[in-house]
Amino acid sequence: MEQQSLLNDLVTSPRTAVFASFRLGGTDGVSVEAAKWESALTKLGFSCRRVAGEILDAGRSDDVVIPELRMRAAAEPSPALVEAAFEGADLVVIENLLSLPLNLPGARIVSKVLADHPRVVLHHHDLPWQRVEFAHVDELPPLLDGALHVVINELSRRELLDRGIEAHVVRNHFDLAPEPGDRAATRRRLGLGESDILALHPVRAIERKNLPGALALCAALDARLPRNIVHYWLPGPAEDGYEATLESLLDDAERDTRVELVRSPAQPIRDAYAACDLVVFPSTWEGFGNPVIESVAFGRPLAAGDYPALRELTHLGFSFLSSDDPAAVAAVLSGVRDIGPSLERNLELARAHLAIELLPGRIEALMAGAGWSFE
């Protein structure tokens, strides 16, 4: 009866939260985290809907798609249409649309429309100066009166503070008891033998994901593990004009190394984690880097690059292999080195700091701290 009462409260709740971004409903990090926040706000009694330049999933009847809000859209969105999209919102959560200058005309109009809205969360996954190509942009994030700025790492909080903006850190949260994938069936589908080593690189192919570093690690592992065939699995597509670079990198790897290349999409992603023996993640920059904690949830060893947000996790006590140390990685894969206790410790830390069950309470505390009442 208690559960049914809660469901009735949610259905009849007058609270409405609107999420807005360039795109939503996809497998990119911003879409994934927006969906987690939406679920958390639903648990807090909100009815949620979405506004975006594009919706990448099957869509919902109350979605508002404004193509001019897409990344690098050619046209400017109608202010009246944007204003109508936010009508009736008790809370607006902006996911990166006012953080990265991927559509400045759209960002300017959204900023103007929300200038007088009493409850706006700017959820920043990246900031302009954190990418060389956007370092000159100084109009984002906007200074909206009373808006809450939320970042996913401590570095971004400090950098915003240096610019006169107070922000709050809410790191990405995760399901730490995910439904297990099918290792045997996935490996059969990929044509892998029992002793083959599958290195999963669960990313979109863009420059900061450091595909050359991932391929170099796989080649080094192949040299150190002559009895095994090493496979490199890149399930994501190329984006941001990286297509030609990707093809060149894969051609070179195919010609110059014995590493086998896998380009099959990973659907569902849990099957990819189940099938792999190692997660490679040598990124040079990440706002957070979800595969890091996903690897913890699925109990897989991770070889990661030394980017700032990862250092924040290691300061919390997490321990990972380095993608620059193939000898140590090979020792783990060959069974010479046992990192089982480290994997268990990582999972304990993730449960304490990043469990998805903690997210609603953290968002609620954030809004209460701002003095926001939704009664």
Q: Which domains does the chain have, with CATH numbers?
A: 2-173+355-369 (3.40.50.2000), 183-353 (3.40.50.2000)
Q: Specify the pLDDT at position 94.
A: 98
**CB distance 35 to 42 below 8 Å:** no
H helices of the chain, in order, are: 2-11, 29-43, 79-85, 104-113, 154-162, 183-190, 211-224, 243-256, 269-275, 290-297, 308-315, 326-333, 340-353, 359-369
Beta-carbon contacts of residue 256 (< 8 Å; ≥ 6 apart)? 219
Q: Specify the pLDDT at position 4.
A: 37
Number of residues that make up the chain = 375
Going residue by residue through the chain, which has 375 residues, state the pLDDT in tens, using 9 for 90 and above: 333 333 333 334 579 999 999 999 998 999 999 999 999 999 999 999 999 999 999 999 999 999 999 999 999 999 999 999 999 999 999 999 999 999 999 999 999 999 999 999 999 999 999 999 999 999 999 999 999 999 999 999 999 999 999 999 999 999 999 999 999 999 999 999 999 999 999 999 999 999 999 999 999 999 999 999 999 999 999 998 999 999 999 999 999 999 999 998 877 999 999 999 999 999 999 999 999 999 999 999 999 999 999 999 999 999 999 999 999 999 999 999 999 999 999 999 999 999 999 999 999 999 999 999 887
Identify which of 262, 251, 258 has the alpha carbon closest to the alpha carbon of residue 189.
262
Residue in the structure block whose two tokens are 């330049």 = 53
* Residue 350 CB-half CA count within 13 A: 24
Residue in the structure block whose two tokens are 């809450």 = 148
Identify which of 91, 93, 326 has the alpha carbon closest to the alpha carbon of residue 225.
326
H helices of 114-240, in order, are: 154-162, 183-190, 211-224
H helices of 176-260, in order, are: 183-190, 211-224, 243-256
Rounded CA-CA distance 366/94 in Å is 15
The alpha carbon dihedral of 357, 363, 369, 372 has a sign of negative
**CB distance 94 to 110 below 8 Å:** yes
pTM exceeds 0.85 for this model? yes
Tokens standing for 344? 């268990």
Q: Specify the pLDDT at position 12.
A: 43
Q: Specify the pLDDT at position 29.
A: 92
Q: Specify the pLDDT at position 271.
A: 97
